[in-house]
Structure 1
Amino acid sequence: MRRLYPLMLALLLASCAQYQAGSRNPLIRTSYDAADQLVQLTQPTLPKDAPLIVATFVHLDHLTEAATLGRVLSEQVATRFTQMGYPVVELKLRGSVFVREGKGELLLSREVKDISLAHNVQAVVVGTYATSPDKIFLNLKIVRPQDNRVLSAHSVAIDLNETTQALLLSEPS
């Protein structure tokens, strides 16, 4: 048993190192920082006793479509809100949300209030992105669904590189 302790410690440290490596990834870090900024800028502050919804981030010019990039970014933002202690409603388990195969959870405005009421949701995190030859511009908002009031907004420019280009192009046909 004594011989197993060093092995178990090494495995534990290796798994921690892998987690740290993921949080250092530039795309993940950008998503986490954007979520942090949204929370810091929100007026009034968001209490942690009511849930949030994070919708799939969509292309600014095609609001009913999202490439894998939009789905990945919204998942990362939802992860960060969860890490900060906010209860996040998982939309992929709901049948009443507009979900297109390979497109993600695209909230139709008429459904936001219904879903919000059903889950006592205090806010919805929405986002759009647009691309230029060298950047992806991501715009995020926290919106109160009862009156569509924007409680917080934050914009980020992400480098268009091999990884982000692949996520943009991986949209299913």
Structure 2
Amino acid sequence: MLVVGLACLLSACANYQAGARNPTIRASYDAADQLLAMVKPALPKDAPLLVSTFVDIDRLTTTSTMGRMLAEQVASRFTQQGYGLVELKLRGNVFVQEGRGELLLSREVKDLSLSHNVQAVIVGSYAVSAEKLFLNLKIVRPLDSRVLSAHNIALDLDETSRAMLMSESP
């Protein structure tokens, strides 16, 4: 029995793919690294950041599983780089809706940044073509809406990413 259990466990491990090897996660991490490399002035690591859910560029109050997941991946990379992030899912006073994510409205960003001493907000929007997803990322200083850094990437769409895009929120 132990041998059968161990064989099942090992076969499950064979299907495991480390995030850094997945092309979408790798692209998200690279985009976060580029944002940090280009930010002027440099962001101190001792003041927190917010990451908003990435939205459809044609409908800025709409996102998808893909938009939420890309934002989570970028947030993970900022955390791995030593930056503190405020987790909006734990806040009761933020525009967080089931299936939609953390959609920050302009008027709320300034209030949130003041109440949490946030130095910057990472925002993103995406557009989809037949073969690509184009993602625009920015680091924005909330007090004056100044863009401190920006980066754009294009991701090839596959069956998985198309399915994640089909899950758009209402």
Normalised TM-score (structure 1):
0.87
> Could you tell me which residue of structure 1 aligns to residue 67 of structure 2?
70
In structure 2, how many angstroms separate the alpha carbons of the residues matched to 1:48 and 1:129? 27
Task: For residue 170 of structure 1, report the CA deviation from its aligned partner.
Answer: 2.1
Q: Which runs of 5+ in 1 are unaligned?
A: 1-6
> Could you tell me which residue of structure 2 aligns to residue 4 of structure 1?
none
> Could you tell me which residue of structure 2 aligns to residue 28 of structure 1?
25
In structure 1, how many angstroms separate the alpha carbons of the residues matched to 2:145 and 2:104? 13
SS of the residue corresponding to residue 39 of structure 1 reads helix
Q: Segments of 4+ in structure 1 off by > 4 A?
A: none
> Could you tell me which residue of structure 1 aligns to residue 111 of structure 2?
114
In structure 1, how many angstroms separate the alpha carbons of the residues matched to 2:160 and 2:153? 17
In structure 1, how many angstroms separate the alpha carbons of the residues matched to 2:40 and 2:131? 33
SS of the residue corresponding to residue 137 of structure 1 reads strand
> Could you tell me which residue of structure 2 aligns to residue 101 of structure 1?
98
In structure 1, how many angstroms separate the alpha carbons of the residues matched to 2:92 and 2:114? 15
In structure 1, how many angstroms separate the alpha carbons of the residues matched to 2:19 and 2:140? 29
Task: For residue 21 of structure 1, report the CA deviation from its aligned partner.
Answer: 2.3
SS of the residue corresponding to residue 82 of structure 1 reads helix
In structure 2, how many angstroms separate the alpha carbons of the residues matched to 1:118 and 1:43? 24
In structure 2, how many angstroms separate the alpha carbons of the residues matched to 1:25 and 1:97? 31
1:165 equivalent to 2:165? Answer: no
Do 2:123 and 2:137's aligned partners in 1 also have CA atoms closer than 8 Å? Answer: yes
Do 2:19 and 2:25's aligned partners in 1 also have CA atoms closer than 8 Å? Answer: yes
Task: For residue 172 of structure 1, report the CA deviation from its aligned partner.
Answer: 4.8
Task: For residue 146 of structure 1, report the CA deviation from its aligned partner.
Answer: 0.6
Task: For residue 22 of structure 1, report the CA deviation from its aligned partner.
Answer: 2.1
| Count of residue pairs brought into register by the alignment | 160
In structure 1, how many angstroms separate the alpha carbons of the residues matched to 2:89 and 2:97? 11
In structure 2, how many angstroms separate the alpha carbons of the residues matched to 1:127 and 1:96? 21
Do 2:63 and 2:169's aligned partners in 1 also have CA atoms closer than 8 Å? Answer: no
Normalised TM-score (structure 2):
0.89
Instruction: Give me the CA root mean square deviation.
Output: 1.8
Matches within 5 A, 1:42-81: 42-81=39-78
For residue 124 of structure 2, the aligned residue among 108, 118, 127 is: 127
> Could you tell me which residue of structure 2 aligns to residue 140 of structure 1?
137
Do 2:48 and 2:120's aligned partners in 1 also have CA atoms closer than 8 Å? Answer: yes
Task: For residue 171 of structure 1, report the CA deviation from its aligned partner.
Answer: 2.8
